[in-house]
Structure formats: structure tokens, C-alpha cells
A and B are shown apart, each in its own frame.
Chain A
Amino acid sequence: MYNSIVLVKQVPDTSNISGKVMKDDGTVNRALLPAIFNHEDKSALELALQIKERFGGKVTVVTMGPLRASDILRESLFMGADEAYLISDRKFAGADTLATSYVLSEAIKKIGNFDFVFAGRQAIDGDTAQVGPQTAEKLNMPQITYAEEIIDIKENKVTVKHKIDGGHEILEAQLPVLITVLKDAVEPRPFSAKRVMAYKNASSLVELEKLAEGNSLLYVDKLVDEYTSRNLFIPTITTDEMTVDLERIGIKGSPTKVYKVESVVLGGGNHVNIEPTKAGIGSLIDQLMIDHIFG
């Protein structure tokens, strides 16, 4: 039996950014972009689910983000996760990777009882690949990044194939270990229709409060009890539920600051226009011969 905690992130879909979502100051209006489950995190979840199927154990999914990030926790439950936690607090806002990894590591310690921590290699909104290794360091655990395959688990040791520059390596690591996963490692399974039916109403506290709108707080408590008993309650971890040093979270705990943001300037360049004719292209090739690029 091996238990896994999987770190997942909801990200804006940066693959299809048009001029419309750029604000006048050059920053991106995230609200206009669809929020999606970061692909590499889905691959990480798939690996954890496969370990559960091969060896038994439990898969717990954790995300840190705004309240609407509970969407990807429900999707994780649809795929096969056993439980999910939302780490959310206004005080976490503005966190860079250092502050984020601090909060995640404290949440992981609070959840406890794990052999693996999985995460995608990187998230498409920042592409930094830093949160995984930083979380591993804070948990004082070894890490394997750029994982391509879990080969075997035996006697508390895992063998993993991972990518290195110009090839790959097979590593053997003592558990517990944190592993970051490449998108191509594995194809995430589709949602199971049965699980979608079972978990589509899974809700966080804030979502239950909305549901109870206008009713008394007692009614919210009742809802929480009812959802918990049906395994449909997604617990939220805030700064009240875990001991964190407030100096190390949010903007305060983030050593890196965004000093300047520029949108990419589009339009009118300073190039020589070449006619798409034999004569035009001929003169271009002549020029490149003079420059000793051709010939």
C-alpha cells in the first residue's frame, strides 16, 4: 500500500491568447481566459492512480488557489482521486514559488501519511518548474524531476525513468519522494461516468454557503455534516487550519517581485520588403551570396 498526495493547479489557458485579453497596460486579463486543469498535473494524478491500482493505497489531491479552483478538485475526483483539499486564503495572494512551496509543504505535513508527493513538472502560466523541487526541499525529501515512467516499487524504494539533457536515467529513490511528471509520461484517463454522477455535487465550504444562501448558519453546518457523511465535502485549508509563519506567505513571503510587464509589441517592422517574384527573390539570393551566407 502506497499513499500519494498530488499537487494540482488551475491555470489560465495560455495557449490561445489573442489581443482581446491583453489589458492596456500590457498585462493579461486572466478573467477572460478559460481556467483549465494544468495538463502535466493531470499526468501526475494519472501516475498516482496507477500506483493505487497496482499496489493499493490512497490518492489525495491538493490545490492552492482561488475558490473556483475547486473545479479541478472535482475533476480529480471524477478521474479517481479519493479525497481533495482546497488550500485557499486571501493571505496567500501574490505568492511567488517560494511562498507557494512553503504553504504547500505545510499543508502536506498537515494532511500527512504519504509515500509519494506528485506534481506536474511545471504549470503553463509560469513555466517555472520551481514549486516541485522547493516543496521537496521544505519537506526534507528527495526529489525526481522530469519523470517519464514509474518502473517499479519494492521494499519502500521506487525506480523511476526520468529525462535528462540528451537522454534519460533510471533512478532508485527511497520513499517518501517527490516526483514531478512530464506531460508525455502517461495519458490521463477520461472521467468515469459513474464517478461524475457520484461526485458532481462535491462542494467546498464556500460553495455550500452559497447553496444555503439566505438560510441560517446552522443550516450550513447541517449541509457540511450531510456532505461529509456522503463523502462529498471538499475541505478548505486556510491560515486558520494550519500553523504558518505569516511572514513567509503571500506577497510578504515572496522574495521575487514583478518590476515591469510589457506586452509584446506588434506591427510594423524595419525590414526590406522583397517581392514574391523571380526578380525579387533573385536579388535577395544575390545579397545573401555577397554576405557569404549562400554559395
Chain B
Amino acid sequence: MKNITNDVWVFIEQRNGHAADVSYELLSKGRKLADSMNGTLKAVIIGSNVKHLATQVFGYGTDEALLIDNPALKDYLTVPYARVLDKMIKEYTPRIVLFGATIIGRDLAPRVASSTKSGLTADCTDLQISDVTYLKQNYEKLLLQIRPAFGGNIIATIITPDNPTQMATVREGVMEMAPIAYPHDVKITEIPYIPDPMDELVKIIEQHMEGSKVNLKNAPIIVAGGYGLGTKENFNQVIELAKVIGADVAGSRAAVDAGFVTPDRQVGQTGVTVRPKLYIAVGISGAIQHRAGMQESNKIIAINNDPDAPIFDVAHYGIVGDAMDVIPVFIEVFKNKLK
């Protein structure tokens, strides 16, 4: 095996010079991982005119920024970005490389893992450093890559025991963004971009951003409905409750599949991950696929007629009853108390 470093790298995903929230979330987690293996945290910034990002990352615990700044890298394209990363990883052999499990992260990470022959685990919901005994061999300070698997019915812990570099993509919103009080002095290492004809094979013709009206990630209160509601008409009660208490509406995957609510409002492993002040789950059984997206909420109220529904495991308050009976009572009492 090549000489092993203790470097933790985070790919900083940016569009038009704005870094994605998930990149700061990953830096915050990466700081903890680096600390538990006495390593350094490095932010990898690829783009054009993105030097300002290289200073911003220090607010989240970065020790060093690796900057590849070139007009040819202005917009994300798979091949040039993957080539740049591939070359850097082969040269510096980081121990861990983290990407957001965004569309860009899920496009880029596997390409880079393939060319560097690294292990890659998709859509992690937790990362830890631990000594591991695997097949009677002892490994020090491996990255435990924890993710739901099999449609969210099991939680798997994946390791990459024998490769110098361990890679993972991590779900947005799962790790907490933690600005630090005393940032490291800014230290930027600029790395040149060397063009290659392969970079020209794909070109962007047009780009459309649909200003998403739905922003569940920042909603302080969410009322979510599940398949247990039975009909779209019943789901309207959930929407009514949300309106009355000033909440955003969300749904489980089953509710989205049933057409009760639009896909951009899906909370869970294959939807959005949220951590609001209050999450009210109505008629949601609480499959891990859903819980993975909401269990970090500050307070959770579960309303379900099945007292054994797993949603009650993560709830702070449980109301056993038919949603169609409970919601009107909730609305009435709320209106009386807060008029």
C-alpha cells in the first residue's frame, strides 16, 4: 500500500461562486473526523474566480485550501473536474475524500473513485472513525460509512479496509453545519489546471434554474402526511393543519407515490433531509427511509392509529388515534389558544 496520510478532503461544490450548504456541513463533520485521527482537513475548491471561497472555508475548521482556479473550470462538467481531482488524489493520497450526495457529487465521486480505484460509499447518513477488526485483521482508524440500504429497511456500515483512500458521498442536511470560533490562518495552495482534449467532449448549451418555491430545509415547522391517510381528500386535512399553524407541508415517499403530494416535498432517504424545530408526522408509519430524513428534528409529534408504528420510536410526543379525528381537534384547540 502507498504511504498513508491522515488528510481529510472535502470537495467544495459551488455554482456561480456560491458554495452548497452541504459542503460546509461536510467541512464541519470533516473537522471532527480529522481530529479523531490527528489529521488535517483540506477543502478542495475547483472553479473560476472562486478564490473568495478559499477564504470562507476556514470558518468551518479547514486547515488548508487546495484551489484550482481557471476559466475553463467555470461550470461543473464531469470530465475536467474528475481529471483534476484524479490527478490530485494520485499525487497526495488523501485518507478520506467526502462529497455531497447531490447530483454533482453523485456524478463526480464515482468517476474519481473509478480512476483512483478507491472504495466509495453512496448517500451516507453518518461517518465515524474507529478501529476495526475485519476477517481477523486489525485496522486502525478506519472510516465507518453508515447508510440505509435495501430501500431503507436496513442500516449498513461499510468499510474500505485495504485501500489508501476512502471515499463517501453524504446526504445533504444530515451533518450539522458548525462554524468555529477560532479559524486556522488562511493557507491556500494553488494547483494549476492542465487542459486536455477530453475536457471538450461535453459542452453546456443551456442552463435553467427553476427557482424552487419549496424550501423544506429551512422550514421551522413541518407537517408531513403519509400513505396512512388513505386519500388525497384526507391529505388536504394535513395541508389545512399546516396552514393554521404556519407550517410547510411534506410527505413520505409512499404519499408522493400515491400522488397525495408533489415529489419536491418528499422527506426521507430519497427526498429531502430536514431538521425543523417541530415535525408533525401524520399517518406516517415511519420506515427508516422516512426517518432518515427527519429524525434529527428538534421536536417530533407522531399521529398514527397504530400504537406499534415505528414512527413513535423517534417521536417526542405520540398521539394514538385516527388522523381525521385528531387534526380537527388540534386545529380547534390551536385557534382557541392563539387567537
A interface residues, Cβ below 8 angstroms from B: 12, 14-15, 17, 22, 26-28, 96-98, 101, 124-134, 136-138, 140, 142-146, 159, 163-174, 177, 254-269, 271-278, 280-282, 284-286, 288-289, 291, 293-295
Contact A133 B158 (CB under 8 A): no
The contact string, 1 if C-beta is below 8 Å from chain A, for chain B 313-335, is 11111111100011001101110
Q: Is B141 an interface residue (CB 8 A)?
A: no
Contact A14 B106 (CB under 8 A): no
Extra contacts, 16 of them, besides A28-B154, A269-B315 (Cβ < 8 A), are: A97-B120, A133-B107, A136-B111, A137-B114, A140-B198, A146-B107, A167-B210, A172-B203, A257-B159, A259-B134, A264-B287, A265-B313, A278-B329, A281-B333, A285-B330, A293-B221
Q: Which residues of chain B come closer than 8 Å to A125, judged between CB atoms?
A: 150-151
Contact A17 B153 (CB under 8 A): yes
Contact B111 A134 (CB under 8 A): yes
Contact B212 A166 (CB under 8 A): yes
Q: Contacts A17-B151, A278-B332, A281-B333 hold; do A133 and B114 have CB atoms under 8 A apart?
A: yes
Question: Chain A: which residue is nearest B307 at the CB level?
Answer: A273
Q: Which residues of chain A come closer than 8 Å to B118, judged between CB atoms?
A: 255
Contact A134 B110 (CB under 8 A): yes
Contact A295 B338 (CB under 8 A): yes
Interface size on B, residues (CB 8 A): 89
Q: Smallest CB–CB gap between B20 and chain A, Å?
A: 8
Contact A165 B332 (CB under 8 A): no
Q: Is B117 an interface residue (CB 8 A)?
A: yes
Out of A126, A130, A288, name the residue touching B110 (CB < 8 Å). Answer: A130
A137 to B85, CA, bound (A): 13
Q: Smallest CB–CB gap between A275 and chain B, Å?
A: 8
Out of B149, B206, B221, name the residue touching A170 (CB < 8 Å). Answer: B206
Q: Smallest CB–CB gap between A26 and chain B, Å?
A: 6
Question: Chain A: which residue is nearest B107 at the CB level?
Answer: A145
Q: Smallest CB–CB gap between B150 and chain A, Å?
A: 5
Q: Contacts A127-B270, A143-B107, A259-B144 hold; do A264 and B153 have CB atoms under 8 A apart?
A: yes
Contact B158 A171 (CB under 8 A): no
Within 8 A of A (CB), among B92-119: 102-104, 106-111, 113-115, 117-119
Q: Which residues of chain B come closer than 8 Å to A27, judged between CB atoms?
A: 154
A-B CB contact pairs (8 Å), 11 listed:
A17-B151, A98-B114, A125-B151, A126-B149, A128-B122, A142-B198, A166-B212, A257-B161, A258-B157, A261-B155, A281-B330
A113 to B212, CA, bound (A): 42
A164 to B16, CA, bound (A): 14
Q: Which residues of chain B come closer than 8 Å to A258, judged between CB atoms?
A: 156-158
Contact B317 A271 (CB under 8 A): yes
Q: Which residues of chain A come closer than 8 Å to B319, judged between CB atoms?
A: 273-276, 280-281, 284
Q: Which residues of chain A come closer than 8 Å to B270, judged between CB atoms?
A: 127
Contact A269 B312 (CB under 8 A): yes
Q: Smallest CB–CB gap between A109 and chain B, Å?
A: 15
A163 to B108, CA, bound (A): 14
Out of B134, B161, B207, B318, name the residue touching A269 (CB < 8 Å). Answer: B318
A22 to B151, CA, bound (A): 13
Contact B151 A124 (CB under 8 A): yes
Contact A130 B201 (CB under 8 A): no
A183 to B169, CA, bound (A): 22
Question: Chain A: which residue is nearest B122 at the CB level?
Answer: A128
Contact A257 B321 (CB under 8 A): no
Q: Is B187 an interface residue (CB 8 A)?
A: no
Q: Which residues of chain B come closer than 8 Å to A132, judged between CB atoms?
A: 110
Q: Which residues of chain B come closer than 8 Å to A177, judged between CB atoms?
A: 201-202
Q: Which residues of chain B come closer than 8 Å to A274, judged between CB atoms?
A: 301, 317-319
Q: Is B299 an interface residue (CB 8 A)?
A: yes
A101 to B110, CA, bound (A): 10
Q: Is B256 an interface residue (CB 8 A)?
A: no
Q: Smallest CB–CB gap between B154 and chain A, Å?
A: 5
Q: Which residues of chain A come closer than 8 Å to B326, judged between CB atoms?
A: 276, 281
Q: Is B73 an interface residue (CB 8 A)?
A: no
Q: Contacts A169-B207, A269-B315 hold; do A264 and B154 have CB atoms under 8 A apart?
A: yes
Q: Which residues of chain B come closer than 8 Å to A14, judged between CB atoms?
A: 150-151, 153
Q: Smallest CB–CB gap between B278 and chain A, Å?
A: 5
Q: Is B194 an interface residue (CB 8 A)?
A: no
Q: Is B62 an interface residue (CB 8 A)?
A: no
Question: Chain A: which residue is nearest B311 at the CB level?
Answer: A269
Question: Chain A: which residue is nearest B108 at the CB level?
Answer: A133
A269 to B304, CA, bound (A): 14
A281 to B269, CA, bound (A): 30
Q: Contacts A28-B154, A134-B114, A284-B301 hold; do A272 and B202 have CB atoms under 8 A apart?
A: no
